[in-house]
Amino acid sequence: MTRSRSRTRRRPPVALALPALLAIAFLLMPLLGILARTSWGELGTHLTGPDVTEALRLSLVVSFWALGLSLLLGVPLAWLLSRVDFPGKSLVRSLVLLPMVLPPTVGGVALLLGFGRRGLLGPWLENTFGITLPFHTSGAVVAATFVAMPFLVISLEGALGGLRPSYEETAASLGASPFRVFLTVTLPMVAPGLAAGAALTWARALGEFGATITFAGNLPGTTQTLPLQVYLLLQDSPEAATSVSLLLLAIAMAVLIALRGRWTGGASVRGGAPSPAAADSPALETDPAPALPDHSAPPKDDDPKSPAGEQSWSLDAEVTGFNELILHAEPGTTIAVVGENGAGKTTLLRALLGLTDRAHATLRLGTTDVTDLPPHKRGVAWVPQAGALFPHLTALTNTAYGLRAQGTPRAQARATAQTWLDRLGVGHLAHRKPAQLSGGQAQRVALARALAAQPRLLLLDEPLAALDQTTRAHVRHTLRTHLAGFPGVCLIVTHDPVEAVSLADRVLVLHDGRTLQDAPPTEVTRHPRSPWVARMLGRNAWPGTADATGLTLANGTHITTAEQLPDGTKALAIITPESVALHHTRPTGSPRNIWPGTIREITASGSRLRILITSDHTPDLIAEITPHAAADLRLTEGATVWTSIKATEITLVSL
């Protein structure tokens, strides 16, 4: 903190500071000119004259109409530009920006040729609706909208672009229709950007001159706004022009001051890390989840979509595209989805949600085929990484979101949400915003929100990734308790072997989008089907070819094993780190596999030490020993050791 402050106080280089100061002086000089030349004594008279008050009234009318029109047309346009890919999009974006760079008088000419009496659309407007824009206030509104709307569109498009899609996707997965998502999540989250854009739009419309005078003329009381007044007054009464300019200047400054700090707008989006507020708050990670006598989902009548009598949902999915796999699971099954980076875990989840074109899932949940339903009608709830709690809603309203989207009355939805928050041990935080929750608390609220929506399939994307080790253990315990009673199937994407083994009934190992192994954790632990899975589970896994006495590795090293596979079978030799013994000198006696090696790395793993050994004879080998044994052997990085592994300690897994 101190360091960053002293860094900002450091004297700036003269080569940059000097032109920067000149720029400030350049911008300031005209404003000082207005202030210096204002006849302060006559200011009141100038600003209260009938012409000026009339022009001010007209300016306010025109600018607010222009703002209204810009909001009406510009908000959907900004949304379209930021969210939909369509041909000619960059052309449309250039079109939006054009009025900002076009000389306003040219804009006025263009408006005349488009909407004027002899323009392309003018005659039709006149004949059909009796609307004539030039020389009417409506013309001034059109001119102001033309030049001001781009400010709204680019501000809002920027804010929308900065919004992580996971918020809107989560809202859809909770059952909200696209329009509801827009109103309840998108708009509130981009509110600062929208407000900044609206204020700029209004200020620009208020100051509009060139397009207005060219298109709508300069008729007192009809199209003569304040900037046009200034132009006229400059010829007849320069002091009055200065006073009116000061008024416009004051309004512009007021807008900018009101916008201070909002330029970087965007939503207050939190990551998974605990906020400072949360750090001060009584953290709940140590609270055990309350024991639940009955963890069934809330009453069925809360769920308008549930077919009567259906209490649980199996999963049948056939996924094609990047992922090629078939998945079947009985209700209540928790499946850990694991695999290397890029194996297709997230793509699988998104395919089940109906949120990606990269893979397609034929999906049946219980007796219902949801394949052709949009994401918000599938009953598939998603908890993305870091939870994606809506930052503008409290924990309670976040949790009630899915029920409200599904039509549950507000009071009932809130009562049910409170029940779920209580069940997950965060009921007392119901009225906090996500920014006031710690990472662990936020994860519990995100889980409560997903469960409260009564999904038929629950997808958790690395639910514990953002948490520290202690919190992780507690939240894992909570998760296990609550998943135990979930009446559908739950898929958990994880990179954490402990999470996979301790939470799941099955481990689905993906490789290149396909199933490499789909088995109970004990089976995967005992017989990992790939070196990657073995390594993930902390085991050594050496690929080779089986023969009569064991396995021959690619480099020719032979490993003797107690069990044998048919000659020529491609297989993995799985060696647990605890079964690797280390010696100072070449051991004699029963072990059949003995190689020399060099210690490359020693790291702590719980109460034991993990030793990485490299050798010319074998692939890298991990051994795990007690610190006491390490001290006895006086192990240091770089030291030479002998490793030995009993033939009975090696498992062969055919590939």
Residues that bind ligand ATP (CB under 6 A): 322, 339, 341-347, 358
Residue placing its CB nearer to ligand ATP in the complex, 344 or 528: 344
Minimum CB distance to ligand ATP, residue 535 (Å): 15
Contact 71, 152 (CB under 8 A): yes
CA 334 to chain centre: 25
For the residues of 505-545, what is the DSSP string, one character each?
SEEEEEETTEEEEEE-HHHHHHS-SSHHHHHHTT-EEEEEE
Which residues have a Cβ under 8 Å from the Cβ of 157 and sit 6 or more positions away? 78, 81, 82
Minimum CB distance to ligand ATP, residue 463 (Å): 14
Measured CA to CA, the distance from residue 36 to residue 92 in angstroms comes to 44
Largest CA distance in the chain: 114
Residue placing its CB nearer to ligand ATP in the complex, 303 or 340: 340
Q: Are strands 457-461 and 380-383 parallel, antiparallel or unpaired?
A: parallel
Three-state DSSP state, 459: strand
Contact 502, 509 (CB under 8 A): no
Tokens 């998974």 map to which residue? 272
Minimum CB distance to ligand ATP, residue 517 (Å): 15
Residue placing its CB nearer to ligand ATP in the complex, 380 or 453: 380
Task: Using alpha carbons, select from 196, 212, 194 the residue that is nearest to residue 74.
Answer: 194
Q: Any idea what DSSP says for residue 568?
A: T
Minimum CB distance to ligand ATP, residue 355 (Å): 11
Q: Cβ–Cβ contacts within 10 Å for residue 499, how many?
A: 22
Minimum CB distance to ligand ATP, residue 493 (Å): 7
Contact 524, 507 (CB under 8 A): yes
Residue placing its CB nearer to ligand ATP in the complex, 44 or 342: 342
Residue placing its CB nearer to ligand ATP in the complex, 193 or 344: 344
Minimum CB distance to ligand ATP, residue 391 (Å): 24
Alpha helices in 370-434 (DSSP H): 395-405, 410-423
Minimum CB distance to ligand ATP, residue 193 (Å): 25
Residue placing its CB nearer to ligand ATP in the complex, 344 or 591: 344
Tokens of 514: 């396909």
Residue placing its CB nearer to ligand ATP in the complex, 104 or 384: 384
Q: CA-CA distances (angstroms) from residue 388 to 51, 173, 213, 383?
A: 55, 12, 49, 7
Residue placing its CB nearer to ligand ATP in the complex, 128 or 341: 341
Task: Using alpha carbons, select from 447, 486, 487, 441 the residue that is nearest to residue 463.
Answer: 447
Minimum CB distance to ligand ATP, residue 471 (Å): 21
Measured CA to CA, the distance from residue 413 to residue 432 in angstroms comes to 17
Number of residues that this document lists for the chain: 655
Residue placing its CB nearer to ligand ATP in the complex, 172 or 509: 509
Q: What are phi and psi of 142, to 5 degrees?
A: -60, -45
Residue placing its CB nearer to ligand ATP in the complex, 343 or 574: 343
Minimum CB distance to ligand ATP, residue 496 (Å): 12
Residue placing its CB nearer to ligand ATP in the complex, 134 or 344: 344
Using a 10 angstrom Cβ sphere, with 0-12 exposed, 13-18 middle and 19 or more buried, the burial of residue 150 is: buried
Minimum CB distance to ligand ATP, residue 320 (Å): 14
Minimum CB distance to ligand ATP, residue 349 (Å): 8
